[in-house]
A and B are shown apart, each in its own frame.
Chain A
Amino acid sequence: MNRMVGETYWQRVIFFYIPLFMFLVMLLFPFYWMIQASIKPDRELYNAAMSPFYFRSATFDHFRYLFENTQFLLWMVNTFVIALASTALSVTCGVLAGYSLSRLRYPGSTMLGVSIFVTYLVPPTLLFIPLSRLVNEAGLMDTRWSLVLTYPTILIPFSTWLLMGYFRTIPKELEECARIDGATRWQAFIKVILPLATPGILSAGLFSFTLSWNEFLYALVFISSPENKTVTVGVVSELMIADIYYWGSLMAGALLGSIPIAIIYSFFVEYYVAGLTGGAVKG
């Protein structure tokens, strides 16, 4: 990276590289902890005389316990399916609502936009009680659909708000040109707006997928059968028993559960940043 004009080497080290290093340590330390705790044998893990920051010998016993004594793989599949479906539903609704609120003029659009965002502020800890009644009356209790249809209550408001901002950055003239050339509004939306809004859509999708993947409360309340559980609930139910925690397997489960998100982000992080910042500058 080039130095700024007038900046000395040591200034760069003190004001850039050292803070950056500290930031990296703070961010990556939890992953390091998870990795070393998941491969450390129990005799080292519970031995207070040994340093907790490194391991002397490695074992895959915790992973073996996770796969052989729990339904971890099934939980991962459930979580993936639920996260994918709820993301698809939420992003679709968010795109349509975001476009409508940012581009179309109709009575009540401003109030509607504000109310959609305000619903995002209602915490799930308040919503889970009325939602559980609704889910039960719909006959969806203990099914994947209970989560696919309730997660959008959290995801759609944020997706809509994010995409509203992003759609506003796309010049109206582009759409108007397409309309002048004979395209219908729908055609202009599909062929002009959507391709340009790809970073924003991917950003909303990533955010929705991450939230769905990590969600705990609704998954705890709406799902009861072990085979329908998600990773977040399943790992806690099976590996935290009374006052005994299987820390090695817990860390193994947490590590494996975070890998899909890490992989997805590594491929799409540029779009994510572009999507989040796209509406930040008024142009």
Chain B
Amino acid sequence: MKDDAVKGKPVTEKKGITRREVVKTAGVAGVAAATGVGLFGGTPPAFAQKRTIHYLMDSYFISGAKDVHLAINEEYKKQTGVEVKMEFINQNDLNTRLTAAVEAGAGPDMTVLKWNMPHLFAGGLANHDALLADIDASGYYGFMHDATMVDGVYRALPAYMTPNAWVYRTDIFKELGISPFPETMEDYLSAGKMLKENGTPVGFTLGHTLGDAPANCYTWLWAFGGREVDENQKVMIDSAETRAALEFFREFWNDACDPGGLSYDDGSNNRAMLAGRIAVTCNAASIYYFATRNPDKVPEGLGDNLHHAPLPAGPNGSYGTNQPLSEGIFEHSKQKDVCMEYLKFFRTGDNFEKWFVAMGGQAVGPSPVWEDHPFWETQPALGSIPKMGGYGRSFGYSGPYDRKASEVQAKYIIIDLLALVARGDSADDTIKWAETELKQIYEG
């Protein structure tokens, strides 16, 4: 600066960076960042961007399957750089979380869905038609499609099913001379009477539960030819077949069942069976899984004395209601394409097979192909579990499995139909009540 003075230039003492310069620099940097034209030129390459998808599902009951799932996620991350952030919650809280996510338009990217949830939350779920076309779901069970297709559009990917069958104590049956497991309703009633006299009755829930009650109750109606609606959703509950079903059910409940079933929740029948208090219940494979892997917590030898059978046939046959499970991507997700790629990776091929085996019989594949998988030969006690898909019907039979059928299920109308008769109400009054409720839903 002294040199400037010598050369005749004005002497201005530089005092360091001024505020004006700082503001100017920050402004330039901000504009550069906003337009993406930074100092290094352009946006970072895609592979350097870390992506995470948030996957909401109910907690794994089978720890081995959870480990396999997490390992598959890790493999997916290695291959694609996408991290799958898992959130596990209690299954009874799923509806609350899904409602909040759909109504807020924010939250997880994808979720597991049970039963008819794709219909209930259709407004918040993305169109999955392209995904279904990619994986060829044409061979899937009909009820798997019914659960996920809403007004002609797939709102979720049908993933697998959890079938319910009748779990029974082979040792008690043998002791009482009941063999094989009853195949008709009359035989079931006779066997049930013997079991109750033995102090080990039939036990199942007639409560408002998420899993066991719907899985069981509809099948009693169908076994006698009763149904909610016809093909055009005209209410048909008031019929001779329904009366026959209810009268038989009343007798069966009084003579063969644990009356405490009116207050069972989804876990009560498990506890009763694992404690040896009941000899038969309607359940998925979880009782067998727990008994065989926790022998110190159950009566000795229980795990070796369990088997599974379908509901005995009524005049109209034998039916099952298998819980369809699907996976849905939320409409609000900004990573729908990533989620679809992930679902293709997880739910098909070797990855699905590894996971299916790890589930230990709690999951059955979405198509009849899985009925003959070699895994079932290693678990003969699972009995009819792999074949229950063939017995499956959807709620709302014989109409479509749509939002109205979902509403009937959510309001537990068919469950209460049986529960009211079990507690002593007349069949006529109960049918009249159910008809009123069903007409409000189906006919407006």
Which residues on A are within 8 Å of B, measured CB to CB? 42-43, 46-48, 128-129, 132-133, 136-137, 141, 217, 220-221, 224-226, 233, 236-238, 240-245
Contacts and interface: CB of A to CB of B under 8 A. Distances in A.
A243 B91 CA distance: 9
Nearest to A244: B61
B2 to A, nearest CB: 55
Name, among A42, A43, A48, A141, the residue most crowded by chain B CB atoms within 10 Å (CB to CB): A48
B123 to A, nearest CB: 13
Given A224-B56, A236-B90, A237-B88, A243 B100 contact: no
Interface in B406-440: none
Interface of B: 54, 56, 58-61, 85, 87-93, 96-97, 99-101, 103-108, 211-212, 266-267, 269-272, 274-277, 283-284, 286, 290, 294, 296-298
Given A46-B298, A133-B103, A240-B92, 6 more contacts: A46-B274, A129-B100, A137-B106, A141-B107, A243-B211, A243-B266
B291 to A, nearest CB: 11
A269 B269 CA distance: 42
Given A141-B107, A221-B100, A244-B270, A46 B297 contact: yes
Name, among A42, A47, A244, the residue most crowded by chain B CB atoms within 10 Å (CB to CB): A244
A128 B100 contact: yes
Given A221-B97, A238-B59, A132 B104 contact: yes
Contacts of A238: 59, 88
B146 to A, nearest CB: 23
Given A129-B99, A220-B96, A243-B267, A141 B106 contact: yes
A247 to B, nearest CB: 8
A141 B87 CA distance: 14
B100 A47 contact: no
A240 B59 CA distance: 8
B275 A46 contact: yes
A43 B296 contact: yes
B104 A244 contact: no
A205 B333 CA distance: 40
B61 A241 contact: yes
B302 to A, nearest CB: 11
Contacts of A132: 100-101, 103-104, 106-107
B303 to A, nearest CB: 14
Given A43-B296, A47-B275, A242-B59, A136 B104 contact: yes
Nearest to B290: A244
Given A220-B97, A237-B88, A244-B267, A42 B108 contact: no
A244 B275 contact: no
Nearest to A134: B104
A126 B48 CA distance: 42
A220 B93 contact: yes
Nearest to B87: A224
Contacts of A136: 104-107
Nearest to B265: A243
Nearest to B162: A242
Contacts of A129: 99-100, 103-104
Name, among B85, B88, B108, the residue most crowded by chain A CB atoms within 10 Å (CB to CB): B88
A42 B296 contact: yes
Contacts of B88: 226, 237-238
Contacts of A226: 87-88
A244 to B, nearest CB: 6
A133 B276 contact: no
Contact of B59 (A47, A221, A224, A237): A237
A51 B100 CA distance: 43
Nearest to B106: A136
17 contacts: A43-B297, A48-B275, A128-B96, A136-B104, A137-B106, A221-B96, A224-B54, A224-B56, A224-B87, A224-B108, A225-B87, A237-B89, A237-B90, A240-B267, A243-B211, A243-B286, A244-B270
B63 to A, nearest CB: 9
Given A242-B59, A242-B91, A133 B297 contact: no
B106 A245 contact: no
A130 to B, nearest CB: 8
Contact of A48 (B59, B92, B276, B286): B276
Contacts of A245: 267, 271
